[in-house]
């Protein structure tokens, strides 16, 4: 791995762990207000203004995860890798900090309201943790490949596998809230998606998640692993004399 990337790892990791603490601290305050006996479904009704604030906070968090990579490299692929690394570290330590501060989750099977954009995401704690480990692995594989100056590290098939896998993972978290509220057609209607969020947090007393549809996640993980494998092999040294003409990864 390149020396400049190695030097950044300590500071990047410290930043994302600190971000995770800030995120968990906000949750501590929210749960003190709305779930003094401990979080669980069904949801407690929340003020509409607070729901909107939560959505904006989540968008701000995504921006904060993007910025560090944008500041340290001009390579679009390395920026993406830093985002993946940051998201993975942040998400795992978010749950670790909640465990320290609240004693929650009680186990990896604990159900959580994971995200609100564009619709509510619901799933057990172990599911986002598995995805976060995969994101960290993806980032490390990309950094390894970039350090070897490989040609076209991530090809079209790799991107297709990663993106399709990611979409299936998203479906695993959102299909139950969507099917039991406004149906899948809500995905095509921004107003319906906003209404879905508000309904879930303002009138969530009638919503208790069904069994987590893990086959969607398993299928997504399988495709993602295939993509990771292709990228890893692309980053392996090529025997002298067999290297094709390089195709440079675009920088921005």
Please write the tens of the pLDDT for every residue from 172-220: 998 887 776 544 444 444 455 555 555 555 444 566 788 899 999 999 9
With CA atoms as reference, report the closest residue to 100 among 204, 7, 27. Answer: 27
Whole-angstrom distance, CA of residue 206 vs CA of residue 209? 10
Structure tokens at 76: 């679009």
How many domains does one find in the chain?
Answer: 1
With CA atoms as reference, report the closest residue to 151 among 83, 73, 65, 250. Answer: 250
Q: Is 250 a member of any domain?
A: no
pTM for the full predicted model: 0.83
State whether residue 84 is helix, strand or coil: helix
Q: Look at the chain and count its residues.
A: 252
With CA atoms as reference, report the closest residue to 30 among 108, 143, 138, 116. Answer: 116
Q: Which residues pair with 121 in a beta bridge?
A: 115
Whole-angstrom distance, CA of residue 133 vs CA of residue 120? 22
Q: Is residue 202 a contact partner of residue 46, using CB atoms and an 8 Å limit?
A: yes
Q: Is 217 a member of any domain?
A: yes
Q: Is 251 a member of any domain?
A: no
Q: Is residue 200 a contact partner of residue 43, using CB atoms and an 8 Å limit?
A: yes
Q: Is 172 a member of any domain?
A: yes
Each residue of 85-124: pLDDT tens digit? 999 999 999 999 999 999 999 999 999 989 887 778 899 9
Cis peptide bond prior to 111, omega within 30° of 0 = no
Range of the domain at 93: 3-234
Each residue of 46-79: pLDDT tens digit? 777 888 888 899 999 999 999 999 999 988 999 9
Q: Is 213 a member of any domain?
A: yes
Each residue of 146-169: pLDDT tens digit? 877 656 678 899 999 999 999 999
Q: Is 239 a member of any domain?
A: no
Reduce the secondary structure of 89-150 to three states and give it as a string. HHHHHHHHHHHHHHCCCCCCCCEEEEECCCCCEEEECHHHHHHHHHHHHHHHHHHHHHHCCC
Q: Is 248 a member of any domain?
A: no
Q: Is 243 a member of any domain?
A: no
Question: From its phi and psi, is residue 251 left (phi > 0), alpha (psi between -120 and 50) or beta?
Answer: beta
């Amino acid at each position: 791995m390149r020396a400049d990337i190695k030097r950044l790892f300590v500071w990047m990791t410290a930043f994302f762990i600190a971000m995770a603490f800030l995120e968990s601290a906000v949750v501590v305050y929210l749960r003190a207000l709305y779930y003094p006996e401990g979080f669980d479904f069904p949801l407690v009704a929340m003020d509409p203004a607070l729901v909107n604030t939560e959505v904006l906070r989540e968008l701000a968090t995504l921006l904060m995860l993007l910025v560090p990579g944008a500041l340290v490299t001009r390579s679009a692929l390395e920026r993406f890798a830093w985002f993946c690394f940051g998201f993975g570290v942040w998400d795992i330590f978010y749950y670790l900090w909640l465990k320290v501060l609240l004693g929650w989750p009680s186990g990896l099977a604990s159900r959580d309201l994971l995200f609100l954009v564009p619709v509510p995401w619901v799933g057990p704690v172990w599911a986002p943790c598995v995805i976060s480990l995969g994101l960290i692995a993806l980032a490390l594989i990309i950094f390894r490949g970039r350090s070897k100056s490989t040609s076209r590290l991530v090809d079209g098939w790799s991107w297709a596998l990663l993106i399709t896998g990611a979409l299936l993972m998203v479906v695993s978290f959102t299909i139950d809230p969507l099917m039991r509220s406004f149906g899948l057609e809500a995905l095509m209607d921004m107003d319906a998606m906003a209404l879905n969020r508000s309904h879930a947090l303002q009138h969530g007393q009638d919503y208790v998640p069904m069994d987590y549809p893990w086959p969607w996640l398993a299928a997504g993980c399988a495709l993602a692993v295939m993509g990771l494998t292709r990228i890893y092999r692309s980053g392996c040294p090529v025997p002298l004399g067999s290297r094709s003409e390089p195709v440079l990864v675009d920088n921005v």
